[in-house]
Amino acid sequence: MRKSTEKTGKNAGTERVAAAGGAGEAAGAEAAPRARRRGRPPRDRSGPPTSERILSEATALFARHGMEGVSMRDIAGRVGIDVSSIHHHFATKESLYDACFARVFEAERAGLAPAVRGLTEAVRSGPDGSGVVEALRDLVDAFVDFLDDHPHTTFLWLRRWLDPTRHSPLDEAYALPIYHEIEQALLDAAGRGAVVEPTPHVTVRSLVWAAHGHVAALTAAGGDAVAAAREKREFRAYAHRLIGRLYAPPGADAERDS
């Protein structure tokens, strides 16, 4: 009888040990990280936030194909995420499109701000037209440099004119304020006698169109870096000559032509 009892006790102890071991294995399984789902590459946590990657890829696609030519699935594929992840940040394609415009034109405004300040300071410094001319040349140079560094800006800008009704609110929010600031500086310069400028809005838009046309032509021509650098120098020289002729002191044209 004692042996039977001892055997029963040993069996119970063995069962308790096995149960404890099984519980430990279960706990270990729970503590272990779950396997990553196959098919989607892991996100680089050291990279930019998801919303920034969405905006960057969407901007490139919208600039190339327009809003109607791009789907949310196209953008998700470029970013490497699910469409639902895009909707977490941007409810609709329209809101994402508007956010891309806002991002591009905020960058443009920040990039041109020092040169715009230089122009307004040159106007306030006195009636010397040469300071205004040089400041406006610096502003054009800054604009060309910005467009070279952000070529998507040009193609988004051109898209605006294909559908002006759709883009009118974007123009009013992002493009017109900086145009008006430059136009006002030229009006102030004319009021102080520094330059003769009866139509500053025409001047500003003409220079903007010329710069965007320069970038579009370079993009269409291909990727010859040497030719692109030469074209950039030549466009700068052209813009500088144009500004110099627009705001030449009275009598300068007559002296040049005599």
Number of H helices, E strands in the chain: 12, 0
Q: Do 102 and 85 share a domain, yes or no?
A: no
**Whole-angstrom Cα distance, residue 161 to residue 54?**
25
When divided into structural domains, the chain yields a total of: 2
Q: What local confidence, expressed as pLDDT, does residue 47 receive?
A: 61
Q: Do 65 and 113 share a domain, yes or no?
A: no
**Whole-angstrom Cα distance, residue 71 to residue 68?**
8
Q: What local confidence, expressed as pLDDT, does residue 229 receive?
A: 87
Q: What local confidence, expressed as pLDDT, does residue 236 receive?
A: 95
Q: Do 61 and 150 share a domain, yes or no?
A: no
Q: What local confidence, expressed as pLDDT, does residue 44 receive?
A: 47
Secondary element (H or E) of residue 142: helix 129-149
Q: Chunk the chain into consecutive blocks of 10 residues (it has 258) and report each block's average pLDDT, rounded to whole numbers.
A: 47 47 45 44 61 96 93 97 96 95 92 96 82 95 94 86 78 88 95 92 95 86 80 94 87 44
Q: Do 76 and 184 share a domain, yes or no?
A: no
187 domain residue, yes or no? yes
